[in-house]
Chains A and B, each alone.
Chain A
Amino acid sequence: MDVIEEGRSRVILKENGVLNATACDYPGSYTFDDTWSHEKFKKIFSVQIVKWNEREMEFDLIGIHAAIANAFRRLLLSEVPSMAIEKVFVYNNTSLLQDEVLAHRLGLIPLKADPRLFEYRQPGDEDGTEQDTLEFQLKVKCTWNTNAPKDSTNPDDIYKDHKIYTRHMKWLPIGSQGDIYKAKDVGPVHDDILISKMRPGHELDLKLHVVKGIGKDHAKFSPVATAFYRLLPEIILTRDVEDEQAERLQKCFSPGVIGIEESKHGKKKAKVLDARYDTCSRNVFRYEDLKDAVKMGRIKNHFICK
């Protein structure tokens, strides 16, 4: 790869810093014609989904500029709407948690409700309508367990309802909501999130209003736990690394990145298997004798998004 091409497409990880970190592949910066064209873009651009389940998604975004990839990341974090508890009406709270703290904890509970089916609540609207609000009730009272074994000191045995989980939240449909949604579609994502702990005599009686919002307003509205990407690592061995050095080299990278194969002379020789899952820890630079054998880079337009 020539120097210009390398500068355009790779970040080089040196011992004490990163080379070519900023983009320089703007059209017209070089002698050759590199204007953006739809054709070229179509050819190199691709999205490959690596992993996709209910909680997590990993996909590769290849062939676009960092600014675009970053824009997606930023949008996911802060501008994609989701539903969260916003208003808590405290009718009774004799538990140890202060009203504000309890409300804050409730707000952070992830909910399943699909934000696309709801409107934003109008400013100044206190009560909410069935188009923009879901209502839950949390009404629990901790009591002594009368059937508890006599000598037990385990809180689980001697008290009833002393741990408040998300499963204690009860959905109260407003208007025709009961016909449109099913309870399991709008409830909390997990039903075992601990909200509070109580002791006999403590009581909670709350009404919770769930509204639609965006992450910019409060992190609880962010639909993702986090969204980030990393550049695809690229490891090039610039010389043969053999025997003990090879083993040492292998240890410097994540498992599965460097493989060792028998060379013709019966020597063990290191080779790069798959750099994708390397953590880029740069621990090779600890060894003076291995420093020169490796060139670490990352491909600038290959984003591994999670």
Chain B
Amino acid sequence: MGEYGNENMVRDWQSDPKKLGNPIKPIEEKWKLVSAFLTVKGLVKQHIDSFNYFVNVEIRKIVKANEKVCSDADPLFYVKYLNVSVGTPDVEEAYNISKSTTPHECRLRDLTYSAPITVDIEYTRGNQRVARNNLLIGRMPIMLRSSNCVLAGKSQFELAKMNECPHDPGGYFIVKGQEKVILIQEQLSRNRMIVEEDRKGGIQCQVTSSTHEKKSRTNVIVKNGKYYLKHNTLQDDIPVAIIFKAMGVVCDQEIVQMIGTEDHIIQRFAPSLEECHKANIFTQNQALRYLGSKTKQKRFFSSAPKKSPVDEARDLLATMVLAHVPVENFNFKMKATYTALMVRRVIQAQGDTKVIDDRDYYGNKRLELAGSLLALMFEDLFKRFNWELKMIADKNIPKIKAAQFDIVKHMRQDQITNGLVHAISTGNWTIKRFKMERHGVTQVLSRLSYISALGMMTRVNSQFEKTRKVSGPRSLQPSQWGMLCPSDTPEGEACGLVKNLALMTHITTEVEEAPIIRLAFNIGVEDVNLLGGEEINSFQVYMVFLNGNILGVIRDYQRLVRIFRMMRRSGYINGFISIYAQHQHRCVYISSDGGRLCRPYIIVDKGKPLVKQQHIHELMQGVRNFQDFLNEGLIEYLDVNEENDSHIALNESYIDPQMTTHLEIEPFTLLGVCAGLVPYPHHNQSPRNTYQCAMGKQAMGAIGYNQRNRIDTLMYNIVYPQAPMVKSRTIELINFDKLPAGQNATVAVMSYSGYDIEDALILNKASIDRGYGRCLVYRNAKTTLKRYANQTYDRILGPLVDAETKKPTWKHDILDADGIAAPGEKAENRQVLVNKSMPTVTLNPINPLQAQPEYRDVPQVYKGPVPSYVEKVMVSSNAEDAFLIKLLLRQTRRPEIGDKFSSRHGQKGVTGLIVEQEDMPFNDQGICPDMIMNPHGFPSRMTVGKLIELLAGKAGLLEGKFHYGTAFGGSKVADVCEELVRHGFNYQGKDFFYSGITGEPLQAYIYSGPVYYQKLKHMVQDKMHARPRGPRAVLTRQPTEGRSREGGLRLGEMERDCLIGYGASMMLVERLMISSDAFNVDVCNQCGLLAYSGWCHSCRSSGSVSTITIPYACKLLFQELQSMNIVPRLTLKNYCD
């Protein structure tokens, strides 16, 4: 894509001598930086960083913020949290005995991988002050590979010892044996002003304030040319002038100065002032009273003494409206300035629609990760925990007891434990204090293939409703460049709302604000509290914002920005702090909040990239790592906002000495993990890459080095996975070549028989015989042996022996002596896997006279038309101390007609025909393709990348090396062709073939070579279904529905319409009644009601009763109508007359 631009640029320079600088030599092997980045950061570093931040820093802050619990009953009583820490994961084997655990043990035993949360507290017991250390208050599920995980910093060998795959990215949780991912949530950034058009075309400025305590939304809106403030705690929209007055800015002049003294602004604002005058509000007190009358009545009557409306209004103004703007001692100066700015923005936007902000702009978005979501959850639970302690204290302290009241005895740890576990396992995030309720926050980690697991870790979920049909949030935003993968998004309803991170994206965690504020003031920012409205809105100054709060103003904003960037590059301030000037707003924005997307870039100084070839050499020698590049200020992170304030060159040739500030490390990193698999994606039509992103996740292959130790509900593996012949840098970086999902098939692009239409593929039977596309399907069977309340328990019996033959019955044929199926045995449909029986009475205490309780058989039975083999059996115990038995069942499948395959270019197809080797075409070398693909798949799909992959793969075979199909790079077609020629092949990749059937040469040359094909999880064996007759639903007596219930195939409404249209009435009767739920009923022709065995109960006669056949569902309908007091009467007419 860049090539033409390149030349233009070069020409540009030549024509313009001023621009002519020394040509910049491209830095070779620059991609090693990406690899260095990934070795330091890992693919899911965002999750792990955010969780680490939560567990090590934020949890302390949360506890600190809620450190004291007091009681109303005793003013001297208190509990104070001194410290909190999260330990390393362990399991409680018995009461007070715990041992350290590994993630894999938790997976196998259905446990939760969690660590104790312990606190140090100080509290009063009677009149004593007591300190207790390491008190357990709950358990925290631990993210794999986080700082508290046992896997952190372990070598490959140590990981192998713990049954863990070294390539597993971590970043997920194990809850009740299930791997759960907390998806990255995308939302609008908080505490920022957004000017937008509302539905009626009016302009409004919205701020969603969010602090630890409060969350509120404040709007400044325009109504009839006047400005109002809208807030959810206020009943009506309040004129802004009144708000200003309530904030203590009483003078009209002051108000106008704050908003701006430009003519057009005064003009627009005048009516608002007038309105305020009309309402007769001139003083702060009047304004507050007015506000007080407009507050919403609280629903709950709080015990606190009732405040006067004025006080209440002031409180509301201080804490609820624009909650994030600090108000100390009711000094509203900052808040007033902020409100004024909101009004000013609205006025500006009214004059000039260009000023309206773009909601979908990625600089206005923040990503919420596991850490911050868990922090929300934990804070809520912790608050509830403390509230409960308080309630217990209130209740118990007044009581006089022998033992002194000791709060520690009342601390229940299971509330926090269960709260966290429940949230993660269901994905329902209910935060009471914010009235927040979100569903589907977590998902089960899909282990279909390595790629699907990786892809899930980089997934970004948008909060936007899926049902709404707006294109804005779904379309690709230019500001997503390099941050989010442009290809990887699902099709259909979630299209564009579910996104994936690009390869080098990093998500920031929060950085302490205080040092930044100090630094800003030192550089010359003037505090806004000390300035009047006129100075703030002066033309000579820029306003400085930090995380959405006004810091002050500065005259020389360029100096501020420059110094900040310098400090950041030299490491004096955190590398993730971003600063940029917004000229339209005349503002400098500094951000240090968490959840911003950012990405590393090479810094360019005076037209020269700071990273030199020598640095790369040092990197390759291992004397330098990615952190060194950051420390030395050669590379820095830019977030979306700052990225858009920089001039970034795509490669060295684009560098303009006057403008360029940064250089892209490698363009292929703009794609994500899934799109990185596609070779030559820049030659493909874009939707094809998107399709491949979806399909790569369904491909079978290796899922991890520990796959044989796993007992998953469903696992697909292929027998002989291969690394692709045409690799890409991404493939190597994410280790796809070590955990591949596919095989290199020799493909001939030609038509063959008629069984290859509509993308069907022809497979070579000999290839299949030799193991091509062979796959293993693992399933598990699980039972628990419980102990019941009445001291009875489940048991397993050995196989039932036939009395005559002395052999086990067929059903129990595969059971071992212990009653569990033996490994290696073949389990057929309806054979017993675990011969479990359960006591009939489990609740009431059993009769002590009865020696043996009665048992009922509840065997675990194998179901499935195709037999499976028992691979292994695990007997263990789970968290409830019950026996847990897991069986791993295995099927080996060879490809058959109808199995789905796909190349890496979104070209899927099913097997149409399997052909004997002798019928396959062969070429001069005796090569016989594994697969034949119809050429009609190409013109409309325009997957040129596939053609190049074939060519490069062929050359790679001959040369004995892997070619690269890296995006925006990779092996060139011309070089590849030259290689083919060198080995005596046609340069176009087309060979002379003979028909295997006639033996004569084919008229055309056949484009043939290896293409990497994935076998997808959709296989005929799991889908094929037919039924002659079978089970029926109990209620309606109609055939059941669905393959799993051996259901019938429905003749639906539209099919029915066809038959009606055709006039095939007998056919209709047969399909809809006779073959379904025909039922003989007696009908009394006199009363029209149903009769029974020839006798009408309502007429008390059998005179005119006749038998007819109707659908059972029809009879049911009549009876149900009767039960609702509607009498359907049947009138029978002899159709002969």
Interchain CA distance A260-B997 in the complex, whole Å? 40
- Flag if B999 contacts A254 (CB, 8 Å): no
User: Given contacts A21-B1002, A70-B999, A100-B892, could you give 6 more A-B pairs where the C-beta distance is less than 8 Å?
Assistant: A18-B992, A18-B1002, A74-B996, A98-B776, A218-B769, A282-B986
Binds A, one of B140-148, B727-735, B921-929, B1041-1049: B921-929
The verdict on A281 contacting B981 (CB below 8 Å), with A18-B992, A98-B892 known, is yes
Q: Chain A residues with Cβ under 8 A from B918's Cβ?
A: 73-74, 77-78
Prevailing SS type, chain A contact patch: mixed
The verdict on A98 contacting B890 (CB below 8 Å), with A104-B771, A283-B987 known, is yes
Q: Chain A residues with Cβ under 8 A from B754's Cβ?
A: none
- Flag if B998 contacts A67 (CB, 8 Å): yes
- Flag if B917 contacts A18 (CB, 8 Å): no
Interchain CA distance A283-B977 in the complex, whole Å? 10
Tell me the B residues contacting A by CB distance below 8 Å. 708, 719, 765-766, 769-771, 774, 776, 824, 869, 871, 890, 892, 916-918, 922, 924-926, 928, 981, 984-987, 992, 994, 996-1005
Q: Is A226 an interface residue (CB 8 A)?
A: yes
- Flag if B1005 contacts A18 (CB, 8 Å): yes
Q: Is A195 an interface residue (CB 8 A)?
A: no
The verdict on A228 contacting B986 (CB below 8 Å), with A73-B918, A100-B869 known, is no
Q: Chain A residues with Cβ under 8 A from B997's Cβ?
A: 70
> 7 nearest interchain CB pairs?
A70-B999, A219-B769, A228-B926, A279-B984, A219-B766, A100-B892, A74-B918
Interchain CA distance A201-B922 in the complex, whole Å? 46
Q: Is A148 an interface residue (CB 8 A)?
A: no
Tell me the A residues contacting B by CB distance below 8 Å. 11, 13, 16-18, 21-23, 66-67, 69-71, 73-74, 77-78, 90, 93, 96, 98-101, 104, 108, 215-216, 218-220, 222, 226-231, 254, 279-283, 286, 298, 306
Q: Chain B residues with Cβ under 8 A from A100's Cβ?
A: 869, 892
Q: Chain B residues with Cβ under 8 A from A215's Cβ?
A: 766, 917
Q: Chain A residues with Cβ under 8 A from B824's Cβ?
A: 90, 93, 99
The verdict on A279 contacting B871 (CB below 8 Å), with A77-B917, A104-B771, A231-B1001 known, is no
Q: Chain A residues with Cβ under 8 A from B922's Cβ?
A: 226, 228
Q: Chain A residues with Cβ under 8 A from B928's Cβ?
A: 226, 228
Interchain CA distance A108-B770 in the complex, whole Å? 7
Q: Chain B residues with Cβ under 8 A from A67's Cβ?
A: 998-999
- Flag if B1000 contacts A66 (CB, 8 Å): yes
Q: Chain A residues with Cβ under 8 A from B1003's Cβ?
A: 17-18, 21-22
Q: Chain A residues with Cβ under 8 A from B916's Cβ?
A: 78, 216
CB distance from B23 to the nearest CB of A (A): 33
- Flag if A69 contacts B999 (CB, 8 Å): yes
- Flag if A219 contacts B1004 (CB, 8 Å): no
CB distance from A22 to the nearest CB of B (A): 6
- Name the residue in A13, A17, A21, A218 with the highest tally of chain B Cβ atoms < 10 Å from its Cβ: A21
Q: Chain B residues with Cβ under 8 A from A104's Cβ?
A: 719, 771, 774, 892
- Flag if B924 contacts A279 (CB, 8 Å): yes
- Flag if A219 contacts B917 (CB, 8 Å): yes
CB distance from B890 to the nearest CB of A (A): 6
- Flag if B1001 contacts A283 (CB, 8 Å): no
Prevailing SS type, chain B contact patch: loop
Interchain CA distance A229-B992 in the complex, whole Å? 12
The verdict on A99 contacting B981 (CB below 8 Å), with A66-B998, A67-B998 known, is no
CB distance from B236 to the nearest CB of A (A): 73
Q: Chain B residues with Cβ under 8 A from A99's Cβ?
A: 824, 869
CB distance from B904 to the nearest CB of A (A): 26
- Nearest chain A residue, comparing its CB with the CB of B981: A283
- Flag if A298 contacts B769 (CB, 8 Å): no
Interchain CA distance A218-B767 in the complex, whole Å? 10
CB pairs A–B below 8 angstroms (28 shown): A18-B992, A18-B1002, A18-B1003, A21-B1001, A23-B1000, A67-B998, A67-B999, A69-B999, A70-B996, A70-B997, A78-B916, A98-B776, A98-B892, A99-B824, A100-B892, A101-B776, A101-B892, A215-B917, A222-B917, A228-B922, A230-B924, A230-B994, A231-B1001, A254-B984, A279-B985, A281-B985, A286-B987, A298-B1001
- Flag if A22 contacts B776 (CB, 8 Å): no
CB distance from B421 to the nearest CB of A (A): 35
Interchain CA distance A11-B995 in the complex, whole Å? 14
- Nearest chain B residue, comparing its CB with the CB of A298: B1001
CB distance from A167 to the nearest CB of B (A): 22
CB distance from A19 to the nearest CB of B (A): 8
Interchain CA distance A281-B1003 in the complex, whole Å? 15
Q: Chain A residues with Cβ under 8 A from B984's Cβ?
A: 254, 279, 281
Q: Chain A residues with Cβ under 8 A from B1002's Cβ?
A: 18, 21
- Nearest chain A residue, comparing its CB with the CB of B922: A228
Q: Chain B residues with Cβ under 8 A from A227's Cβ?
A: 926
- Nearest chain B residue, comparing its CB with the CB of A105: B771
- Flag if A70 contacts B981 (CB, 8 Å): no
Interchain CA distance A159-B708 in the complex, whole Å? 21
Q: Chain B residues with Cβ under 8 A from A16's Cβ?
A: 1005
| Partner of B708 from A78, A96, A279, A280 at Cβ < 8 Å | A96
| Partner of A281 from B776, B869, B986 at Cβ < 8 Å | B986
- Flag if B998 contacts A17 (CB, 8 Å): no
- Nearest chain A residue, comparing its CB with the CB of B778: A98
Interchain CA distance A4-B997 in the complex, whole Å? 26
- Nearest chain B residue, comparing its CB with the CB of A233: B924
Q: Chain B residues with Cβ under 8 A from A77's Cβ?
A: 917-918
CB distance from A231 to the nearest CB of B (A): 7
- Flag if A219 contacts B770 (CB, 8 Å): yes
CB distance from A225 to the nearest CB of B (A): 9
Interchain CA distance A299-B210 in the complex, whole Å? 84
- Flag if A101 contacts B924 (CB, 8 Å): no
Interchain CA distance A104-B894 in the complex, whole Å? 11
CB distance from B974 to the nearest CB of A (A): 11
The verdict on A280 contacting B998 (CB below 8 Å), with A17-B1003, A219-B769 known, is no
Q: Chain A residues with Cβ under 8 A from B1005's Cβ?
A: 16-18, 282
Interchain CA distance A282-B1002 in the complex, whole Å? 15
Interchain CA distance A66-B997 in the complex, whole Å? 10
CB distance from A65 to the nearest CB of B (A): 8
- Name the residue in B708, B770, B984, B1000 with the highest tally of chain A Cβ atoms < 10 Å from its Cβ: B1000
| Partner of A220 from B769, B892, B926, B987 at Cβ < 8 Å | B769
CB distance from B774 to the nearest CB of A (A): 7
Interchain CA distance A231-B923 in the complex, whole Å? 10
- Nearest chain A residue, comparing its CB with the CB of B770: A219
CB distance from A10 to the nearest CB of B (A): 11
Interchain CA distance A14-B755 in the complex, whole Å? 29
CB distance from B998 to the nearest CB of A (A): 7
| Partner of B1004 from A18, A74, A226, A279 at Cβ < 8 Å | A18
Q: Chain B residues with Cβ under 8 A from A282's Cβ?
A: 986, 1005
Interchain CA distance A69-B924 in the complex, whole Å? 15
- Flag if A17 contacts B999 (CB, 8 Å): no
- Flag if A280 contacts B987 (CB, 8 Å): no
- Nearest chain B residue, comparing its CB with the CB of A75: B918
- Flag if B1001 contacts A219 (CB, 8 Å): no
Interchain CA distance A96-B765 in the complex, whole Å? 27
Interchain CA distance A221-B997 in the complex, whole Å? 21
Interchain CA distance A66-B928 in the complex, whole Å? 18
- Nearest chain B residue, comparing its CB with the CB of A103: B892
Interchain CA distance A228-B984 in the complex, whole Å? 19
CB distance from B139 to the nearest CB of A (A): 36
- Nearest chain B residue, comparing its CB with the CB of A286: B987
Q: Chain B residues with Cβ under 8 A from A101's Cβ?
A: 719, 774, 776, 892
- Nearest chain B residue, comparing its CB with the CB of A278: B984
Q: Chain A residues with Cβ under 8 A from B890's Cβ?
A: 98
CB distance from B900 to the nearest CB of A (A): 22
- Flag if A280 contacts B1004 (CB, 8 Å): no
Interchain CA distance A230-B992 in the complex, whole Å? 10
CB distance from B827 to the nearest CB of A (A): 14
Q: Chain B residues with Cβ under 8 A from A279's Cβ?
A: 924-925, 984-985
Interchain CA distance A259-B184 in the complex, whole Å? 68
Q: Chain A residues with Cβ under 8 A from B1001's Cβ?
A: 11, 18, 21, 231, 298
CB distance from A206 to the nearest CB of B (A): 12
